[in-house]
Amino acid sequence: MDLWVIRPPRPEDADALGVLHVQIWQHAYRGLLRDELLDKMEVDTRVRRWRAAAEAVDNRGIGPDGACVLAAFIGGAPVGMAMAVLGESDAAETELRSLNVAPQWHGTGVAEALLRRVLPSGAVFLWVLTGNERAIAFYRKHGFELDGLSRHDPTWDCTELRMRRVHG
């Protein structure tokens, strides 16, 4: 039996999710993104985003834009979150926009459980930060491969690599 519960976020979860989101990013991306950008992350901004997401999703975690937003909780406290945007047609790929788990829960199965729940079967793509070898290895373990495409993210001033999963 799993220690965690995976469910859509609720408005009352927004404060804890916002704090966790900033903590995860500041830990996971330190050394990969510029410190001053990470240090300027505002919890209030993340709380507002999580509150808006929680208010928009239905009881399955699906929002009006087709995004699936789920969070993992242990003892009522959030330990991870994931978001995928479903393709607009059967032929369109789903994009995994985020999968973040608190560092103390790495390797426990929480990330795998979130990944399974948030993604449909079939073709999926994601963008991973150049140099994020831990994430690349995790996604490879789950059927994703680098496809050679990259892009520059001007907001974070970084390069991202695309990974794709053809079969799910």
How much is the average pLDDT of 18-23? 98
pLDDT digit string, tens, across residues 48-86: 999 999 999 999 999 998 899 999 999 999 999 999 998
Whether the predicted pLDDT of 102 surpasses 90: yes
Count of structural domains within the chain: 1
Please, what is the angle between helix 43-56 and helix 14-28, to 10°?
A: 130
How much is the average pLDDT of 26-45? 96
The pLDDT of residue 157 is: 93
Residue 127 lies in domain: 5-165
Residue 93 — very low, low, confident or very high, per pLDDT cuts 50/70/90?
Answer: confident
The pLDDT of residue 89 is: 54
pTM: 0.92
What's 38's domain CATH number?
3.40.630.30
pLDDT digit string, tens, across residues 109-137: 999 999 999 998 888 999 999 999 999 99
Whether the predicted pLDDT of 45 surpasses 90: yes
How much is the average pLDDT of 7-22? 98
